[in-house]
Amino acid sequence: MMNHACDLDGSKVVLFRKNPDGRPRQRRASGDGPRSQVLTTNVGLQIPAGLTFDDWERAGRQLSGIVNSSSWWLGDWLVYGKDHYTDRYQLGIRAAGLQYQTLRNYAWVSRRFELHRRRSGLTFQHHAELASLSVREQDLWLDRAEQTGWTTKQLRNAIRLTREDERNQGKQVEATRQLAVPGNRLQWWHKAAEQSGIDFEQWVLATLDNAAERALEETEEQAGLSA
């Protein structure tokens, strides 16, 4: 039997070739004993009778890791093919029986995240959610997702809420800038700010804050008298 093994971040991945007779090689997904071995084939899993819950759960985690990693593997595979075999890589895709559209999505995410920037504690889909952002934003959201343990959906919602807040703040600033003020009154305000010895914008904010504070105090006093 021939196999290839590579060691990434301390974890070993073994890719088995097929037997000469065409039958698929089998690969352990969990455990060491006969009753704890979940074997993978090209058409499904061979799960032994009497498998314990712990071994079943462990096999699920391993299979989930394989599914997640395979997206990166296929993306990197296509990136390499497009970079090195520009006139032949599509032949390789067809020969492998793969869908180009799916591979193209994987490859796009792989290109957006160099190997050293990928977070092993997050899924491929976490990275896909951030692929269109700048590198700085990607790293920021990856850090947050790792620290908070967000699912892909929670990450997507957090980004959406942040974008909505930014848009709302932008609208508020724009509305303030478009406030119509008669020219003579604006000159009057500038003169008052100069006499106060402070910047015009600071004077406007301070004046409005003082006016708001007085209005609220008067409202509270009136409420106290009527109580």
Give the confidence band of 7 by pLDDT, cuts at 50, 70, 90.
very low
| CA–CA gap between residue 162 and residue 74 (Å, rounded) | 32
Scored b (16 or more CB within 10 A) or e, 46-79 reads eeeeebeeebeebbeeeeeeeebbebbbbbebbb
Where in the sequence is the domain holding 200, given as residue range(s)? 182-220
Average pLDDT over residues 157-173: 78
Place of tokens 């991945």: 13
Phi, psi dihedrals of residue 9, rounded to the nearest 5°? 55, 35
Q: What CA–CA distances, in Å, run from 38 to 8, 35, 42, 154?
A: 23, 8, 13, 32
Q: How confident is the model at residue 150 (pLDDT cuts 50, 70, 90)?
A: very high
Establish if 83 belongs to a structural domain: no
Residue 137: inside a domain: yes
> Are residues 172 and 208 located together in one domain of the fold?
no
Residue 143, CB-side half-sphere exposure with 13 Å CA sphere: 6
Q: Look at residue 98 and tell me if it is in a domain.
A: no
50-80 pLDDT tens trace: 888 888 888 888 888 888 788 999 999 999 9
The residue among 171 and 163 whose pLDDT is bigger is 163
Claim to verify: residue 172 and residue 188 sit in the same structural domain: no
Q: Is residue 204 part of a domain?
A: yes
Residues 171-217 pLDDT 10s: 665 555 666 777 677 788 888 877 776 777 777 777 887 788 778 87
Residue 162 and residue 143 share a domain: yes
In a domain, 159, yes or no: yes
Residue 143 clears pLDDT 90, i.e. is over it: yes
The answer on 198 and 172 residing in a single domain is: no
**27 found inside a domain:** no
* 133 and 172 both lie in a single domain: yes
Residue 175 is assigned to a structural domain of this protein: yes
Residue 134 lies in a domain: yes
pLDDT digits (tens, 9 = 90+) for 99-134: 888 888 999 999 999 999 999 999 999 999 999 899
What lies within 8 Å, CB to CB, of 190 at 6+ separation is: 200
- Domain count of the chain? 2
CB-based contact 216:224 (threshold 8 Å)? no
Residue 170 reports pLDDT greater than 90: no
Residues 124, 165 share a domain: yes
